[in-house]
Amino acid sequence: MHGLIEFKGPDRPIADLLDTAVMQRLRRIKQMGFAWLVYPGAEHSRFGHALGAFHIAQRMTRRLERELPPRAALHVKVAALLHDVGHGPFSHAWEHVFPGGGHEPWGARIVAEDAELGARLEALEPGLAGTLREFWGKRYRPHFARKLVSSQLDVDRLDYLLRDGHYSGAGYATYDLDWIIHAVQIASVRAGHDDPSDLVVDYRRGMYAVEQYLFARSYMYAQVYHHKTVRAAEWMFIKTLERFAQLTRQGAEPPGLPVAGAMARGSEVAVADYLRLHDVSVTTALDGWAGRDGPGADDAVLRDLAARLVDRRLFKTFDLGDDRPAADRLWPQALEVAERRFGAAARSYVHLDTARQVGYLASDDEELHVIDHPRYGAVTLSRLLEDMPLGQPLAAIRLVCAPELVDDLRPLVEHALGRGRGRR
């Protein structure tokens, strides 16, 4: 996809990070979670993505070498390579169940506490582990260097969009990376700020490439990341782990995933134990709960949810468009239907899912600036996109349910929408 990725010259010592257990673990975490259940090619790992983000960081720092001192360039490249080390199994779905374990806080802990990784970072530059924590804690200066790794046009997004499109086969994920890199500059656009320089895009050089990137990102969210079947599988996984966590807190922890059990109870988890969590270890636990390696989980709901997920007997969906009032009217009725079928476990079998189709959604800290605009001169990208479909995120609301509920829910969905639009 990127061609040859090289660790040469001053970047050669960075390659020593690749052989750490922390980095090798990323080979066992899929980049796109459960998307492979719909797009069979989408089985690539976060390790490959980390290499791609590093490669784009190399190109960006070379492009900006006049404004970016060599020491800051090193920080950007290492931060790009390590930006995903804190991810849990199955990507972001894990964080829905264990919200205190987001990948950024865990990444900071891993960099600080893993002895092997810490030693190699220290060999690269004394105090580098602390510098990376400044990066992830949004305290690093200059501000624009951190923005290369975490913003609306960072090396993470620039890589995963091309990579996910390539492996899923979604041809509309392409954009002109060369022209975006060519158009990126550093300029003073934050007057009165103690750090006035920021990452900007030259309108005349790169605005069409940036628009292409934003449309591609919006299409990927709508058609791939938030595909109805992908979301159904993710919610089944979340409901399964929620059931596991509930049982654990009740003193009936199912065997097979002791680290997650400790997290569910709110116990302190060591970095070394957290690093034992990855897609393979969780899949092994799911197989056990589903009865693939023995009698299965004692709890019937956990056993059933795990078996459905392992066997790809996925939940169905009703598309509610962006009709929030209809969804609010429907939800109590849907829950009542699920309670008649599944009793107290009803919420494990029905869910109201809201997914935002993100093209560009910037906080003040992530805002992009555009310079040399023929009308405005210097302007934020949010301002330019106000009149475009990408200016606001679009919501896709779906009712996700077990297949047994479909026939009973269909007339309720059609009545709530008032247009007969409910569908599987």
Listing DSSP states for 37-81 in one string gives: GTSTT---BHHHHHHHHHHHHHHHHHHTTTTS-HHHHHHHHHHHH
Omega cis (within 30) before 70: no
Q: For residue 100, what pLDDT is reported?
A: 67
Element (H, E) at 377: strand 377-380
Say what the pLDDT of residue 352 is: 95
The predicted pLDDT at position 423 comes to 46
CA distance 76 to 101: 24
Is the alpha carbon torsion for 207, 208, 211, 212 positive or negative?
Answer: negative
pLDDT, position 195: 73
418's tokens? 């008032």
What pLDDT does 52 receive?
98
> Are 117 and 132 spatial neighbours (Cβ–Cβ below 8 Å)?
no
10-residue block means of pLDDT along the chain (424 residues)?
Answer: 91 97 97 95 97 98 93 97 94 81 86 97 97 87 89 92 95 92 87 77 89 89 93 96 97 96 94 97 97 94 98 96 91 98 98 79 75 81 69 75 98 84 47
> Closest Cα to residue 78, out of 113, 109, 53, 103?
53
Q: What is the DSSP letter of 224?
A: I
- In the numeric block, the tokens 């090193």 are attached to 74
- Which 3 state secondary structure label does DSSP give 175? coil
pLDDT in the model for residue 192: 64
